[in-house]
Amino acid sequence: MLRKIDTFLLCLLATVALATVAPCRGAGVNLFNTLAIVMIANMFFLQGARLSRRAVAEGVTNWRIHLAILSCTFVMFPLLGMGLHRLLPGMLDSAMWTGILFLCCLPSTVQSSIAFTSIARGNVAAAICSATLSNILGIFLTPLLVGLVFNRHAGSGGGGILPIVLQLLVPFIAGQVAQPWIGGWAQRHRKLLAFSDRGSILVVVYTAFSEAVTQGLWHRLPPAQIGRVMVMDTGLLVLALGLACLLARISGFGRADRIAILFCGSKKSLASGVPIASVLFSPSDIGLIVMPLMIYHQVQLFVCATLARRFATQAQEPETG
């Protein structure tokens, strides 16, 4: 059974459509920029508050599987992106290649990586710790990788490393500090707070695409270019899945661990990517840069949902290797 398009992506598409027909202008630009900064900081604060210190500690104990997943996320992907760029430089324009390379520097998803690992009868505990650790390290590593991949100082497009520290890291640490007092409340209201998290992303997307539309986004991004981005995203995911599977097998992991490596090591986080992009890049560029990430988000959900169901079916049979 094919996975239907997820509700959040529909909201993203609706937000892009709204920014296209009614972009914010004038005083509204400063208002939405300020609102986006506040909501991003609040999102990372709540992430810190929701994450127990025990989970942080456990995230570094099963080092072998975590090393494999983090290697896929922060080493394999950037190398794949740079390799594809060198091999097929003319397939996409410079802005789309920037988006592809930025995508390759991002951490893994959390919720969907865990969900697909669970459906496929994989190592859920390892998936929880690895995906969580990936997102924590992504706050530090993604800006550094962007700097290395683009051969520039991290965050040069968004005013240096200080905005990363102030908007992402400081709120996360503050959330960890407050976790003993508000962690229980945050856990009990995860669904309510998820609306806040997703709302912050929608605000960032609306602000970014409003700026991009006023700068002539759709004149710079014809339909043929979007089609090529879809092909590139799909090819990137297939390569990532294949290499993650190969790494897991040659490293001698069991079936449950291989599944966790496969799903955690091949996914990229839209929830982390959009806020980080808003800090690293100038507002006029964000709309184009996050487009490959938005497309990859849906492609990975479709492909990984299909794989998870197949693995679940195979799990009912005796393991042969």
Q: Confirm if 318 and 129 have CB atoms less than 8 A apart.
A: no
- Asked if the model's pLDDT at residue 43 lies above 90, the reply is no
- ∠ CA 97-105-279, nearest 5°, is 85
Question: CB–CB of 100/290 below 8 Å?
Answer: no
Give the rounded distance of the alpha carbon of 240 from its chain centre.
15
Place of tokens 């456990």: 58
* CB 59, CB 132: distance < 8 Å: yes
Look at residue 116 and tell me whether its pLDDT is greater than 80.
Answer: yes
| Rounded percentage of the chain residues whose pLDDT exceeds 70 | 84
Distance of CA 132 to the CA centre of its chain: 12
CA dist 137 and 142 (Å) reads: 8
Tell me the pLDDT tens digit for each residue of 267-316.
998 878 888 888 888 877 888 888 899 889 878 877 887 888 888 888 77
Task: State the residue for tokens 């297939």.
Answer: 238
Give the tens place of pLDDT for each residue, 123-165: 877 787 788 788 888 888 898 899 888 875 444 444 445 565 6
- On whether the CB atoms of residues 39 and 195 are closer than 8 A, the answer is no
Where does the pLDDT of residue 53 fall: very low under 50, low under 70, confident under 90, or very high at 90 and above?
low
**pTM metric for this prediction:** 0.74
The Cα 287–Cα 232 span in angstroms is 18
Nearest to 293 by CA among 25, 116, 117, 109: 109
DSSP letter (8 states) at residue 123: -
